[in-house]
Amino acid sequence: MTELENLTRQAQAEVRGSIPIALTEDQSEVARVMQICNACRYCEGFCAVFPAMMRRLEFNKADVDYLSNLCHNCGACLHACQYAPPHEFGVNVPQAMAKVRVQTYGDYAWPAGFGKLYKRSGLTLCVALAAGLALFLVMLKAVQGELFHGPGGGSFYAVFPHNTLALMFGVVFVLAVVALGKGVARFWREVSPGAATGPAVAEAAHDALRLKYLDGGHGKGCNNEDDAFTLQRRRCHHLTFYGFMLCFASTCVATLYHYFLGLEAPYPAASVPVLLGSAGGIGLVLGTAGLWRLNLRRAPEQGDTAQRPMDRGFIALLFLVALTGLLLLALRDTGAMGLVLALHLGCVMALFLTLPYGKFAHGIYRGAALLKWAIEKRQPNKLQLGSD
Amino acid sequence: MLDVLVVGGGNAALCAALMAREAGASVMVLEAAPRPWRGGNSQHTRNLRCMHDAPQDVLIEAYPEEEFWQDLLKVTGGITDEHLARLVIRASSNCRGWMRKHGVNFQPPLSGALHVARTNAFFMGGGKALVNAYYRSAEQLGVQIRYDAPVASLDLRDGRFLAARLENGERIEARACVLAAGGFESNREWLREAWGRNERGEWPADNFLIRGTRFNQGVLLKFMIDAGADIIGDPSQSHCVAIDARAPLYDGGICTRIDCVSLGVVLNRDAERFYDEGEDFWPKRYAIWGRLTAMQPGQAAYSIIDAKAVGRFMPPVFPGTQADTLPELARKLGLDENRFMQTLNDYNAACRVGTFDHTALDDCHTEGIAPAKTHWARPIDTAPFFGYPLRPGITFTYLGLKVDETAAVRFNDKPSDNLFVAGEMMAGNVLGKGYTAGVGMSIGTAFGRIAGTQAAAAAQRN
């Protein structure tokens, strides 16, 4: 950009406020669709996207990114839309927003270059999985000499030393948390929502943990294959999410046992880590299987079909993590223990590696958008539309 | 043989089909449109005007029968049938449980529609969500649904229905029939004929836009008129509002409305004002501006506002033409600059600004110009300026078949034994002219349900 252009833009900025950032094609589509929705508003009872839209007359990049991440892709507004294709207005809110969502994950990703991984998320995930499995199988071979061991399993740490595992997973997990944290922090700064209050945080947490916006606004649920409402997506997501959290809790408790009580895995079947992990694993297996089935049946116009590798890859990986975890529990006293442990750890490593560059990011960005909405709705509305 | 054949696929047709099926009849629905366009004008609706004596879920306070009736009397100027109107009003008070049973969800009034929070129950997701719910319920109950099935004519004998003939020649017999196939608003030729030629030699209807479905061609209405059915209503009467001239020819629906009329001035093609823009609150006046615009040369008008109005009205779907000066705006809109400036200068000079309050009938008015602007009159003097082009937009026509409380089609004032009518095809019995929000759905629901019940009973008799 030339000096003169720079000066001109600065001068314009002083007169008009900030320079509008050019929108990408996908962002422009969301802005276009929101302009139509804002003049119609029939869908405002379905979710938070429409009330948030109504507080705006124009949709710049930050607004588009925010609204797109607030959208839960429930599909209700598409099936109810009088302007949906074949109407010439061609309004498809969930699809337009899905396309922007994956763009925001990439745009805000840290380190910046890694954002490209979202575009080939299926491939990223496969490579991570292959790498994770190969790593642990090679380690197993090195330690055990062969993949199967004689009868009588026993200590995991005889196969892979505890400290080695703790270091490997600890480092990767911290990196993933930092990467996601940095990305969502940039997103948060751009949408400039104001200060979070206790009630706003509580409401956002409530809405996220209950998946409020998959209930359709009437409690009958969201859409999947057609205009009929179903609670299955919400329930399967709950099974998946809470299953994941139970597994995470199991790991945390086991870590406490190890370092503070001096108790080493494997733990007895009735112990807290095994109970938490089993319940979580079963939840994950059932939840992801259900989400997979629903995803296969999802109406193609709902959301962005180009993201299916990312969605299904993540679902499949979670399923594999849970399945191998349950198998490990079942086979831990057999000669297959070492092999199953390697498979499980390989899957978990792939999951950790791809946390900041795959579908997992949706939870973090959506949580941030929900918090912004909870803050914003408590602020006075600047618009005074006449018909009120 | 089929018990009940329902011709049409919108709200009234579906209400009839569901009621007939619930009464035990075998039912087939013939929807002229392909599936994505099903539901006629109902897909563009958003609420139902409801009588209620006490607060009810989404409805606040009370809206008693008498008040509803007086509202209807006022908007129709008395061109209504009190008996049928009260029947619709009472039916509106107790139909929502049934609607819910068939999957319709209600939501609190939409923002920008708080003026009807007391009187109207809003469908969550709007009319298309309602139509979807009814179709789902009908399919589950075993109603046969055929899309792309426009009916060309009926076989009648002595006022009795025998069969319907589709455009492709197929003949479908049934013991009884409900006609709920909409008005004739999408039939450009008929509209042209109904509105005729004006003193300027124009055919005004050629410049109308149709806010709803393209499938309401009035084929059956015309057939029934020719078959000697008793009719009611004036073909030039319709729900007609001023909408954005850039709206699509059909199916523009709600979002093409222009809500800034009362905040500025409206000029015709000759850059002259022609009516008091501030006569009353916009929701009470929007339905007269269609006709007002239709009377102007070229059936065109322009709503002009300045920066003071931005953010004070429902955002329009198309951006306004924007200019930093009034002469520039005139040029951009293609209006005569001198006349435009004279009109605006006269108006600006005539404004007597008191305390502006767009939520009340305020004291800002004009003096010494005609027509006056009686409220919200403030000079248009703050850049940027915006202009929105207007055209008449027809929602639905009121010409229909005359009925009594049984919804039976009548020939020489004698009710048919097995042919019934509901929805826009008979709304003119209640709505001779004018409109009040949500009453079309009240009529469609009430008479759809009556017609379905009556048709099922007629089928059982025969």
Q: Summarize pLDDT for B224-258 with one digit per residue, the tens.
A: 999 999 999 989 888 899 999 999 999 999 999 99
Query: What would the mean pLDDT of B139-160 be, rounded to a whole number?
Result: 98
Asked if B447 and B425 touch (Cβ cutoff 8 Å), the reply is no
Q: pLDDT confidence of B371, banded at 50, 70, 90?
A: very high
Query: What would the mean pLDDT of A327-353 be, rounded to a whole number?
Result: 91
Task: Give the residue from chain B lying closest to A81, CA to CA.
Answer: B128
User: Measured between CA atoms, how close is B103 to chain A, in angstroms?
Assistant: 9
Q: Which of A108, A143, A168 is the last residue of a domain?
A: A108
Q: Which pLDDT score, from 0 to 100, does residue B351 have?
A: 97
Set of chain B residues whose Cβ sits within 8 Å of the Cβ of A216: 105
Set of chain A residues whose Cβ sits within 8 Å of the Cβ of B317: 35-36, 39-40
Model confidence over A343-365: pLDDT tens digits? 999 999 999 999 999 999 999 99
For residues A344 and A250, what is the distance between their CA atoms, to the nearest angstrom?
15
A40: nearest CB among B136, B255, B359: B255
Q: Which pLDDT score, from 0 to 100, does residue B134 have?
A: 98
Q: Buried b / exposed e across A335-352, counting CB within 10 Å, b at 16+?
A: ebbbbbbbbbbbbbbbbb
Task: For residue A322, give its domain range.
Answer: 117-365
Q: Say yes or no: B100 contacts chain A, CB-CB below 8 A.
A: no
For residues B455 and B182, what is the distance between their CA atoms, to the nearest angstrom?
18
Model confidence over A318-327: pLDDT tens digits? 999 999 999 9
User: Measured between CA atoms, how close is A286 to chain B, in angstroms?
Assistant: 29
Mean pLDDT of chain B: 95
Set of chain B residues whose Cβ sits within 8 Å of the Cβ of A220: 105
Fold (topology level) of B2-183+218-233+398-461? FAD/NAD(P)-binding domain (3.50.50)
Boundaries of every domain in chain B: 2-183+218-233+398-461, 241-393
Set of chain A residues whose Cβ sits within 8 Å of the Cβ of B105: 45, 216-218, 220
- If asked whether residues A103 and A121 sit together in one domain, one would say no
- If asked whether residues A84 and A131 sit together in one domain, one would say no
Q: pLDDT confidence of A152, banded at 50, 70, 90?
A: low
- If asked whether residues A192 and A308 sit together in one domain, one would say yes
| Yes or no, beta carbons of A218 and B36 under 8 Å apart | no
First-last CA distance in chain B: 11
With CA atoms as reference, report the closest residue to B43 among A227, A45, A33, A72.
A227
| Yes or no, beta carbons of B311 and A382 under 8 Å apart | yes
Six token digits for residue A300:
């193609």
Task: Give the residue from chain A lying closest to B44, CA to CA.
Answer: A82
State percent of chain B over pLDDT 90: 91
Q: Which pLDDT score, from 0 to 100, does residue A387 have?
A: 45
Give me the helix-helix angle, A308-331 and A121-144, nearest 10°.
Answer: 20
Which residues fall within 8 angstroms of residue A134, CB to CB, at 6 or more apart? A346
Set of chain B residues whose Cβ sits within 8 Å of the Cβ of A79: 125, 128-129, 132
Query: What would the mean pLDDT of A173-182 be, rounded to a whole number?
Result: 95
Set of chain B residues whose Cβ sits within 8 Å of the Cβ of A46: 124-125
Set of chain B residues whose Cβ sits within 8 Å of the Cβ of A86: 36-37
What does DSSP assign to residue A24? Answer: P
What does DSSP assign to residue A9? Answer: H
- If asked whether residues A195 and A270 sit together in one domain, one would say yes
User: Measured between CA atoms, how close is A299 to chain B, in angstroms?
Assistant: 14
Q: Which pLDDT score, from 0 to 100, does residue A6 have?
A: 54
Q: Is residue A388 part of a domain?
A: no
- If asked whether residues A70 and A194 sit together in one domain, one would say no
Query: What would the mean pLDDT of B128-156 be, rounded to a whole number?
Result: 98
Inform me whether the pLDDT recorded for B157 exceeds 80: yes
Q: pLDDT confidence of A388, banded at 50, 70, 90?
A: very low
- If asked whether residues A52 and A78 sit together in one domain, one would say yes
Pairs across A and B, CB distance < 8 A: 127
Set of chain A residues whose Cβ sits within 8 Å of the Cβ of B37: 86
Set of chain A residues whose Cβ sits within 8 Å of the Cβ of B107: 44-45, 217-218
> Mind spelling out the 3-state secondary structure of B1-42?
CEEEEEECCCHHHHHHHHHHHHCCCCEEEECCCCHHHCCHHH
Q: How many domains is chain A built from?
A: 2
Q: Is residue A379 part of a domain?
A: no
Q: Which pLDDT score, from 0 to 100, does residue A151 have?
A: 59
Q: Report ipTM (2 d.p.).
A: 0.95
Q: Which of A74, A108, A142 is the last residue of a domain?
A: A108
With CA atoms as reference, report the closest residue to B347 among B292, B265, B275.
B265
If one compares A195 and B321, the residue with the highest pLDDT of the two is B321
Q: Say yes or no: B257 contacts chain A, CB-CB below 8 A.
A: yes
| Yes or no, beta carbons of A384 and B311 under 8 Å apart | yes
With CA atoms as reference, report the closest residue to B264 among B160, B162, B200, B344.
B344
Three-state DSSP class for residue B48: strand
In B5-44, the residues whose Cβ lies within 8 Å of chain A are 36-37, 43-44
Which residues fall within 8 angstroms of residue B101, CB to CB, at 6 or more apart? none
Q: Is residue A175 part of a domain?
A: yes
Instruction: Tell me what percent of chain B is helix, strand and coil, each rounded to the nearest 5.
Output: 35, 25, 40
Q: pLDDT confidence of A118, banded at 50, 70, 90?
A: confident
Three-state DSSP class for residue B303: strand
Q: Is residue A38 part of a domain?
A: yes
Q: pLDDT confidence of A262, banded at 50, 70, 90?
A: confident
- If asked whether residues A130 and A40 sit together in one domain, one would say no
Q: How far is CA A313 from CA A293, A310, A341, in A?
A: 13, 5, 21
User: Measured between CA atoms, how close is B110 to chain A, in angstroms?
Assistant: 7
Q: Which pLDDT score, from 0 to 100, does residue B211 have?
A: 96
Q: Which of A108, A133, A157 is the last residue of a domain?
A: A108
A387: nearest CB among B36, B125, B314: B314
Q: pLDDT confidence of A10, banded at 50, 70, 90?
A: low
| Yes or no, beta carbons of A80 and B257 under 8 Å apart | no
Q: Say yes or no: B263 contacts chain A, CB-CB below 8 A.
A: yes
Set of chain B residues whose Cβ sits within 8 Å of the Cβ of A387: 112-115, 259, 282-283, 313-314
State percent of chain B over pLDDT 70: 100
| Yes or no, beta carbons of B311 and A45 under 8 Å apart | no
State percent of chain A over pLDDT 70: 92
Model confidence over B199-218: pLDDT tens digits? 999 999 999 999 999 999 99
If one compares A232 and A149, the residue with the highest pLDDT of the two is A232
Q: Which pLDDT score, from 0 to 100, does residue A150 have?
A: 63
For residues A207 and A193, what is the distance between their CA atoms, to the nearest angstrom?
18
- If asked whether residues A221 and A78 sit together in one domain, one would say no
Inform me whether the pLDDT recorded for A2 exceeds 70: no
Model confidence over B323-356: pLDDT tens digits? 999 999 999 999 999 999 999 999 999 999 999 9
Inform me whether the pLDDT recorded for A16 exceeds 50: no
In B151-190, the residues whose Cβ lies within 8 Å of chain A are none
- If asked whether residues A43 and A139 sit together in one domain, one would say no
- If asked whether residues A166 and A196 sit together in one domain, one would say yes
| Yes or no, beta carbons of A57 and B311 under 8 Å apart | yes
Model confidence over B161-171: pLDDT tens digits? 999 999 999 99
Long-range contacts of B351-356 (CB under 8 A, 24+ apart): B351/B377, B351/B378, B351/B379, B352/B377, B353/B377, B353/B378, B353/B379
If one compares A6 and B119, the residue with the highest pLDDT of the two is B119
Inform me whether the pLDDT recorded for A376 exceeds 60: yes
- If asked whether residues A56 and A127 sit together in one domain, one would say no
Domain at B241-393: CATH code: 3.90.700.10
Mean pLDDT of chain A: 90
Q: Is residue A376 part of a domain?
A: no
Q: Which pLDDT score, from 0 to 100, does residue B166 have?
A: 98
Cα A187 off chain centre by: 15
- If asked whether residues A128 and A89 sit together in one domain, one would say no
For residues A203 and A214, what is the distance between their CA atoms, to the nearest angstrom?
16
Q: Is residue A374 part of a domain?
A: no
